[in-house]
């Protein structure tokens, strides 16, 4: 439900306040009372870093047709590439990311004769909003898919990265439809991350628990319902998980756990791309499109063993 960060000190904290200032601010809020501390922690937990677009990303977006998608959390900026009569794939970026990071997938889609759509989630890039969450990500994905269908464009596949991949599962479980989906470096657990978040910021368990309860009440969704391995067990959409063995932000064990829980899911591993460079890999993009189009067979995930056993909750990006 929240957008969570694997490296708080290099993302949320760096982009809002220094870690020292955040901890001091939260400590002051605790002096004022538990409610103040809970409110401030929840606000920080739901606030994404908004990074400026790089020059190459701006140049890439300029090649597409920009359009706006109304959503409950504000208007979303989106771009369409390719022939309007072709089926579309949609790219869902991760926490703190931008739709322009899906350029490699757009190129692969166009080469395959499909059109492609990228967009910025709530509170990210050129879209409106200051806060975001896993629920908001799934809502935005549904809004974009609905806008395309209203224009007579069929969504044949969805590709997501990190939290944007987790949002695909939530979207499907609430009525979303696609021929196939690809989850790149997907995370697994929100509950486990909130504990790490609290420890880093020096929050006692009562404040962490209050923060969780406040966010659950706000969105009307229990965090336990968003734990990915359990929440995908009844999905019947074809799914491919792609994860790098040297992903230090979201370890490969979590992608394996998700692939094993998703009925008949397939798995493809890479080695040396990490968490973000995997998005720029042409071979990864081609694998994603080949899977969505049903042109290449991918193997199921390997069975658990000593090196791949799921170690517990993973941070969510």
Q: How confident is the model at residue 1 (pLDDT cuts 50, 70, 90)?
A: very low
β-strands 65-69, 76-81: how paired? Answer: antiparallel
Measured distance CA(69)–CA(143) in Å, rounded: 7
pLDDT of residue 305: 67
**Nearest Cα to Cα of residue 22 among 42, 48, 41, 50:** 41
Residues 123-149: pLDDT tens digits? 999 999 999 999 999 999 999 999 999
Q: Is the pLDDT of residue 306 over 60?
A: no
Structural domains in the chain plus CATH codes: 8-47+192-218 (no CATH), 69-188+233-292 (3.40.50.1820)
Cβ proximity of 196 and 312 under 8 Å: no
Q: How confident is the model at residue 254 (pLDDT cuts 50, 70, 90)?
A: confident
Residue 175 has a pLDDT of 93
User: Residue 70: which pLDDT band, with cuts at 50, 70 and 90?
Assistant: very high
> What's residue 196's pLDDT?
72
Distance CA 246, CA 160 (A): 19
pTM for the predicted model, two decimal places: 0.85
Give the pLDDT score at 227.
Answer: 81
For residue 11, what pLDDT band results from cuts at 50, 70 and 90? very low
Give tens-digit pLDDT for 230-243: 889 899 999 999 99
pLDDT average, residue stretch 114-126:
97
Query: Alpha-carbon distance 204 to 118, whole Å?
Result: 40
Alpha-carbon distance 111 to 296, whole Å? 16
Confidence of residue 102 (pLDDT cuts 50, 70, 90): very high
* Share of residues in the chain with pLDDT > 70 (%): 85
E strands present in 147-285:
155-161, 180-184, 238-244, 266-270
Amino acid 224: pLDDT: 83
Average pLDDT value for the chain:
85
Please list the helix, strand and coil fractions of the chain in percent, rounded to the nearest 5, in that order: 45, 15, 40
């Amino acid at each position: 439900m929240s957008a969570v960060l694997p490296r708080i000190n290099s993302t949320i904290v760096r982009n809002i306040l220094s870690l020292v200032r955040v901890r001091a601010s939260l400590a002051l809020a605790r002096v004022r009372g538990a409610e103040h501390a809970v409110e401030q922690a929840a606000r920080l937990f739901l606030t994404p870093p908004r990074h400026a677009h790089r020059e190459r990303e701006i140049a890439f977006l300029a090649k597409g047709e920009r359009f706006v998608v109304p959503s409950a959390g504000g208007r979303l900026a989106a771009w369409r590439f390719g022939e309007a009569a072709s089926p579309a794939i949609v790219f869902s970026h991760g926490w703190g990311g931008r739709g322009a990071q899906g350029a490699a997938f757009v190129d692969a889609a166009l080469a395959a004769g499909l059109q492609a759509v990228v967009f910025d989630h709530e509170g990210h890039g050129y879209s409106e909003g200051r806060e975001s969450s896993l629920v908001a990500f799934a809502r935005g994905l549904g809004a974009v898919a609905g806008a395309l269908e209203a224009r007579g464009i069929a969504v044949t596949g969805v590709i997501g990265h990190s939290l944007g991949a987790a949002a695909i599962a939530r979207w499907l479980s609430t009525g979303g439809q696609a021929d196939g989906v690809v989850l790149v470096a997907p995370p697994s657990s929100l509950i486990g991350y909130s504990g790490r978040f609290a420890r880093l910021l020096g929050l006692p368990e009562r404040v962490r628990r209050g923060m969780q309860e406040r966010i659950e009440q706000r969105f009307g969704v229990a965090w336990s319902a968003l734990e990915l391995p359990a929440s995908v067990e009844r999905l019947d959409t074809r799914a491919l998980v792609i994860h790098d063995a040297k992903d230090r932000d979201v370890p490969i064990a979590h992608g394996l756990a998700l692939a094993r829980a998703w009925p008949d899911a397939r798995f493809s591993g890479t080695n040396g791309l990490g968490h973000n460079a995997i998005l720029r890999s042409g071979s990864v993009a081609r694998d994603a499109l080949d899977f969505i189009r049903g042109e290449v067979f991918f193997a199921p995930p390997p069975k658990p063993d000593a090196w791949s056993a799921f170690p517990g909750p993973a941070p969510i990006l």
